[in-house]
A and B are shown apart, each in its own frame.
Chain A
Amino acid sequence: MKDNPYKIAAYCHIKQQRISLNGDIILENSEIDFPSFIKSVYKHFDTDYPKFFKMDNLSKLAFMAAEIIMRPEKKGLENNQNIALVFSNRASSLDTDRKHEASIKDPNAYYPSPAIFVYTLPNICMGEISIRHQLNSENSFFIFDDFNAHYLSEYTNCLLQDVKAEKVLCGWVELDENTFEAFLYMVAKNGPIAHNVEAINRLYKKSWEI
C-alpha cells in the first residue's frame, strides 16, 4: 500500500456511558437507556438543534459524536469545509428497521410512518451531519463485521490524495439492541498522530476500566 503523510487530528469515543475526546474522558453518565443517555449528552454540550429530536437513535449517536469532534473545528472557521464522511458499522439501521417493521406487522393496525422509514438507511446519519455543518462533501457508508481500520484508512487516503476532500471524518457508529458505540476520528494534513492502521486500532481499542 502507498505511504501517506496524513495525520489523525482528533478522535472521539462514545462507549459504555463514557465519552472521551482525544483520549480524555469528558463526560460520564449513569443513564442506562440510550435515549436518556444521548439526550443528556445533547443537553450537556448546550447543543441547541431542535431537529435532533426527530432523529433516530443511530443518527443521534453519530450526530453527537460528530458534534463533539467538530466543535473545535467550528471556532473561527466557516461552514462549507470540505470534510468527507466515511462511516461504517455492523448493524446498519436495524434498530429503526425493527420499528418500521412493527408499524406494519398487524394488518389491522397498519400505520407506516415516513419519519421512521426515512431512517431505515444507515447513511442518513451522515446526511444529518452534512446538514448541520453544511458539508457538500463525499459520504460513504460501509458495513463490516467489525471495525476495519485497513479499509477505512486506505479509502480515506484515496479521498485525500485525489483531493476529493481536505479532511475526512471517519469511523464506526454502531447501535443495536442493547449496545451502542461511536468511534470517530478526523484525518487531515496536520495533527498529533500518524494516520496508519496501527494507530487507528490502538485508539479504537483503548478501553477504560469499569
Chain B
Amino acid sequence: MNKVYLSYNNIVSSYGFNSEIALDNIKKEISGLEWVDDPTLLPTPFYSSRIDQEKLWQEFTALGIQGQFTRLEKMMLVSLHKVIKASNLPLSSKVGLMISTTKGNIDLLDTENQFSKERLYLSEMGKVISDSFGFTTEPIVISNACVSGILAVAIAKRFIRQGRFDHVFIVSGDLVTKFIMSGFNSFQALSDQPCKPYCNNRSGINIGEVSASVLVTNDPDFLSEEAVVILGEGSCNDANHISGPSRTGEGLYQSIRSALHQANLRAKDLDYISGHGTATPFNDEMEAIAFDRLEMNDIPLNSLKGYFGHTLGASGLLETIVGMHSVHQNTLFATKGFQKLGVSKRINVIKETTAKELTTFLKTASGFGGCNTAVIFQGVK
C-alpha cells in the first residue's frame, strides 16, 4: 500500500504570509498575541493574534483573482495559492480539495455587507475557493469543532487510501469575530492574559486567526523538504459531555491508541507530542490524564497556543505544520506561556527552544462535542 504524506504547506498568520516566518518567530519564542481593545468584538479587551488587514489585502490583490471575496476567503485563497504553486500539481480528477473550518463566513451574519446570504453556507464558500483555482472535484468541507484541522488530514489520508484521490489540498481557517468571542466569553473560557498551557495558574484561552494549508499526497515526487509520512490516525468521541472533556480522557486515549495501532508503534517510539493545550483548567488536565494512561509522561510535549492563540478550525492543521518543521529542523519549540506544571499527572512540557534529533511525532486535538483526534507522523529523511 502506498504511503500518504504531508508535503507543501503554508501558514498565513499575524507573523506573515508563509510558514517560514511563523517558524522563525516560534524558534525565537516570540508570541504573535497582542492586546486588543475593540468593543465591536468584545466589550472588554482581550489577547489575540490577528492577520494584518492591509497586508492581507496586498497579498490577495497580488494573486490577481477576479471577484468579490470575504475576509476569510481572502486568507484561504492566499494560503492555498502558495501551496498549489509550490507543488506545481495540475488539478485533475484525482486531486481533491478539503476545507476545514468551524464557522466559515460567520462574520456575514453580523455586518452589513455586499455578499448574499448564500455565502454563509460553508459549501458556497467551498465552491468559491474551488472555482478560484479550477478544481474539478467536488470540494469537501469538514466542520467538526476544534479537531477539524487535524481531522481533515486523517480524512484526506482515508480518501487517498480508498483510491478516490491521489492528492488532496487542505485549506483551513477561522476568524476572530464577535460571534466567537461572545460565545467563549459566555463559557468564562477566555483568559485576560496571554494563555499559559499546562501551567498551574492558567486561566483560559486566547482566540487567534490563521489560515493554514497543506498538500496531502501519495506521490513521493511531490514532496517538500519538510514532508512527513502519515503513519496512523484515530478520532474517538468521549461520550461524556458536549462541552466538558472526559475526566478520564477516554476519547483522546482511544484516539491515540487507535493511531498507534495503525502505525504499528508503541508510545516510546514517539519523539515529540504536539498537544492541544488550550490552557483551560479542564482541557489541559484531561490531556495529562490521557498521556499518563498511555505512559507518555517523558515524551517532550508542547502546546503552540501561546504563539497563535486557539485558531479553532485551523489549529489542528497549523500546529501539525509547525510539527513538520520541528522534525525537519530537529528542534523542539517552547510552550510559550508555560512556567510551572499545573496538572495532576507528570508530563514533559518543553520550556525552551531545544535542539534534538526528531523523527516521529504525534499531533492531538480535542473539541466541543466530545471529539478528539490523534495523528502520528514521521519525517522523510
Physical contact A–B (CB less than 8 Å): yes
Most buried by A among B109, B184, B237: B237
Residues in A whose Cβ lies below 8 Å from that of B242: 118, 124, 127-128, 131
How many B residues face the partner with a CB closer than 8 A? 57
Once A1-B164, A114-B187, A117-B183 are accepted as A-B contacts, the answer to whether A135 and B371 lie under 8 Å apart by CB is: no
Pick from A113, A123, A144, A158: contact of B145, CB below 8 A. A123
Bin chain A's interface residue count.
Answer: 35 or more
B276 interfacial contact with A, CB 8 Å = no
Q: Are B371 and A113 in contact (CB under 8 A)?
A: no
B282 interfacial contact with A, CB 8 Å = no
Residues in B whose Cβ lies below 8 Å from that of A154: 159, 162, 164
**Cα A139 to Cα B104 with chains together (Å):** 20
CB distance from B159 to the nearest CB of A (A): 7
B206 interfacial contact with A, CB 8 Å = no
Q: Are B143 and A123 in contact (CB under 8 A)?
A: yes
> Considering only CB atoms, which chain B residue lies closest to A82 in the complex?
B236
Residues in B whose Cβ lies below 8 Å from that of A162: 158, 161, 262
> Considering only CB atoms, which chain A residue lies closest to B232 in the complex?
A162
Q: Are B183 and A112 in contact (CB under 8 A)?
A: yes
- Which of B11-19, B134-142, B215-223 is the contact stretch? B134-142
Residues in B whose Cβ lies below 8 Å from that of A112: 182-183, 185-186
CB distance from A183 to the nearest CB of B (A): 17
Pick from A120, A143, A148, A159: contact of B183, CB below 8 A. A120
B144 interfacial contact with A, CB 8 Å = yes
- Which of A7-15, A16-24, A31-39, A97-105 is the contact stretch? A97-105
Chain B 39-83 near chain A by CB (<8 Å), digits 1 or 0: 100010000000000000000000000000000000000000000
Residues in A whose Cβ lies below 8 Å from that of B151: 140
**Cα A130 to Cα B121 with chains together (Å):** 26
Q: Is the interface of B mostly helix, strand, loop or mixed?
A: mixed
Q: Are A158 and B158 in contact (CB under 8 A)?
A: yes
> Considering only CB atoms, which chain A residue lies closest to B141 in the complex?
A143
B126 interfacial contact with A, CB 8 Å = yes
Chain A 88-115 near chain B by CB (<8 Å), digits 1 or 0: 0011101001101101110100101110
Chain B 142-157 near chain A by CB (<8 Å), digits 1 or 0: 1111000001000100
Once A123-B145, A154-B164 are accepted as A-B contacts, the answer to whether A139 and B159 lie under 8 Å apart by CB is: no
B241 interfacial contact with A, CB 8 Å = yes
Q: Are A121 and B370 in contact (CB under 8 A)?
A: no
Chain B stretch 183-198: residues in CB contact (< 8 A) with chain A: 183-187
B325 interfacial contact with A, CB 8 Å = no
Residues in A whose Cβ lies below 8 Å from that of B123: 90, 143-145
**Cα A90 to Cα B124 with chains together (Å):** 9
Q: Are A104 and B237 in contact (CB under 8 A)?
A: no
Q: Are A124 and B237 in contact (CB under 8 A)?
A: no
Chain B stretch 330-381: residues in CB contact (< 8 A) with chain A: 367-371
**Cα A100 to Cα B241 with chains together (Å):** 20
Q: Are A121 and B102 in contact (CB under 8 A)?
A: yes
**Cα A159 to Cα B159 with chains together (Å):** 10
A45 interfacial contact with B, CB 8 Å = no
B106 interfacial contact with A, CB 8 Å = yes
Q: Are B370 and A100 in contact (CB under 8 A)?
A: no
CB distance from A65 to the nearest CB of B (A): 17
B89 interfacial contact with A, CB 8 Å = no
**Cα A1 to Cα B258 with chains together (Å):** 25
Chain A 47-73 near chain B by CB (<8 Å), digits 1 or 0: 000000000000000000000000000
Residues in B whose Cβ lies below 8 Å from that of A144: 123, 138, 140-141
**Apart from A121-B144, A122-B144, 16 more pairs, CB < 8 Å:** A117-B186, A121-B369, A123-B371, A126-B369, A127-B369, A128-B242, A130-B237, A131-B242, A135-B239, A136-B238, A141-B142, A141-B144, A143-B141, A151-B140, A154-B162, A162-B262
Top 9 A-B residue pairs of the complex, sorted by shortest distance between their CB atoms: A127-B369, A117-B183, A143-B141, A112-B186, A130-B237, A112-B182, A145-B123, A143-B122, A158-B158
Interface residues of A (CB under 8 A from B): 1-2, 85, 90-92, 94, 97-98, 100-101, 103-105, 107, 110, 112-114, 117-118, 120-124, 126-128, 130-131, 133-145, 148, 151, 154-155, 157-159, 162, 164
A/B interface sample: 27 pairs, CB < 8 A: A2-B163, A92-B122, A97-B106, A97-B179, A110-B182, A113-B186, A114-B183, A117-B186, A121-B144, A123-B368, A126-B369, A128-B242, A133-B239, A136-B238, A136-B254, A137-B236, A138-B236, A138-B237, A140-B142, A142-B141, A143-B123, A143-B126, A144-B140, A145-B123, A155-B155, A158-B158, A164-B234
Interface residues of B (CB under 8 A from A): 39, 43, 102-104, 106, 109-110, 120-123, 126-127, 138, 140-145, 151, 155, 158-159, 161-164, 178-179, 182-187, 234-243, 250-251, 254, 258, 262, 367-371
